[in-house]
A and B are shown apart, each in its own frame.
Chain A
Amino acid sequence: QVQLVQSGSELKKPGASVKVSCKASGYTFTSYPMNWVRQAPGQGLEWMGWINTNTGNPTYAQGFTGRFVFSLDTSVSTAYLQISDLKAEDTAVYHCARMLQADYYFDYWGPGTLVTVSS
């Protein structure tokens, strides 16, 4: 069965970096694009962008360029989200979500990784 397992919660200080992982199993990793979705505490869902798991080409939503980087390690079927120069407003749960292909719905979601930025 399809599973997306994410890394555990992180507590970081402002200015630090964090790398969140999303390990996929139960399907061919490179056949399905992976999206990243942010959910601030008590708030709704915000699409950050997606990465083509076949080519490694990322697409970032406006507001998620510069400090946010999507990457892959296809040898271990894992997608990564790295955020640098963390700010308090980056405090959120970050979900990975599988997409069947570009411009499709998200059929499986990871449980989310809480990143807390606090001094």
Chain B
Amino acid sequence: DIVMTQSPDSLAVSLGERATINCKSSQTVLYNSNNRNYLAWYQQKPGQSPKLLIYWASTRESGVPDRFSGSGSGTDFTLTISSLQAEDVAVYYCQQYYSTPYTFGQGTKLEIK
């Protein structure tokens, strides 16, 4: 199984500041034949279901604000929120869909400082 490890577990950032969440996979999630990273990011606000933010490691889902961006390749990935807004308070998960069992990181709780 591919183990996904996020860092940090929790993060407090001031409004308007940058937030960075890291995700590392135990093996590559880059599929060489199509040069795609099978890595997604989800946002889960309190009391809600997860919402897709980013797929293929860096493609923003329709409707997601452009302050959210994803980067990385192979085994190391980053979710960046360029200017934190109050509504971004949530738990963020990375997920690999390269192979089953599809696995998630443990989550990073993002709060306002």
Number of interface residues of B (CB under 8 A): 24
* A107 adjacent to B61 (CB under 8 Å): yes
In the bound complex, CA of A108 to CA of B101 (Å)? 19
From the candidates A45, A46, A59, A62, name the one contacting B50 in the complex (CB within 8 A).
A45
Residues of A within 8 A of B98 (CB): 103
B93 touches A (CB below 8 Å):
yes
From the candidates B49, B56, B104, name the one contacting A46 in the complex (CB within 8 A).
B104
Number of interface residues of A (CB under 8 A): 21
From the candidates B49, B95, B101, B106, name the one contacting A61 in the complex (CB within 8 A).
B101
Interface flags for B17-48 (1: CB within 8 Å of A; 0: not) read 00000000000000000000010101000001
Number of A-B contacts (CB under 8 A): 55
A68 touches B (CB below 8 Å):
no
* A44 adjacent to B97 (CB under 8 Å): no
* A44 adjacent to B106 (CB under 8 Å): yes
Chain B 49-89 interface residues, beta-carbon cutoff 8 Å to A: 49-52, 55-56, 61
Chain A 88-106 interface residues, beta-carbon cutoff 8 Å to B: 95, 97, 99, 103-106
CB distance from A3 to the nearest CB of B (A): 12
CB distance from B106 to the nearest CB of A (A): 5
Given contacts A103-B97, A103-B99, whether A45 and B49 have CB atoms under 8 Å apart is no
Residues of A within 8 A of B107 (CB): 44-45
In the bound complex, CA of A107 to CA of B97 (Å)? 12
A47 touches B (CB below 8 Å):
yes
Residues of B within 8 A of A106 (CB): 40, 42, 50, 52, 95, 97
The 5 lowest CB-CB distance pairs between A and B, nearest first, are A105-B40, A109-B49, A105-B55, A61-B101, A45-B104
